[in-house]
Amino acid sequence: MEDFSIEDIKNNVSTKPLRSSGSNIVTHRLQKVKDGYAYKPTLLLVSAYLLMFLIGLLLVGYAIFKIVTTNSFSILKESYIMTGIATLFFIVGIYVIYFLCIPIKFDTSINRFYRSFNTNHKKKSAHFKDIVALQILGELVPNGESNENEYISYEVNLVLQNGFRINLIDYAKLDIITKDTNTLSTFLNVPIWKV
Instruction: Write the DSSP string, the chain.
Output: -----HHHHHHHS--S-SSS---SS--EEEEEETTEEEEEE-HHHHHHHHHHHHHHHHHHHHHHHHHHHHTSSHHHHHTHHHHHHHHHHHHHHHHHHHHHHS-EEEETTTTEEESSSSTT-TTTEEEGGGEEEEEEEEEEE--SSSSTT-EEEEEEEEEETTS-EEEEEEES-HHHHHHHHHHHHHHHT--EEE-
Q: Residues 165, 171, 173, CA angle at the centre, nearest 5°?
A: 120
For 132-164, letters b (16+ CB in 10 Å) and e give bbbbbbbbebeeeeeeeeeeebbbbbbbbbeee
Distance CA(42)–CA(58), nearest Å, equals 24
Cβ–Cβ < 8 Å for 76, 87 = no
**Amino acid of residue 65:** F
pLDDT at position 1 is 40
**Count of Cβ atoms closer than 10 Å to residue 21 Cβ:** 12
Flag whether the pTM goes above 0.75: yes
Distance CA(24)–CA(153), nearest Å, equals 7
**Amino acid of residue 28:** H
The mean pLDDT values, 10 residues at a time, for the chain of 195 residues are 69 82 74 94 77 77 75 65 74 79 93 92 92 91 69 89 91 87 96 90
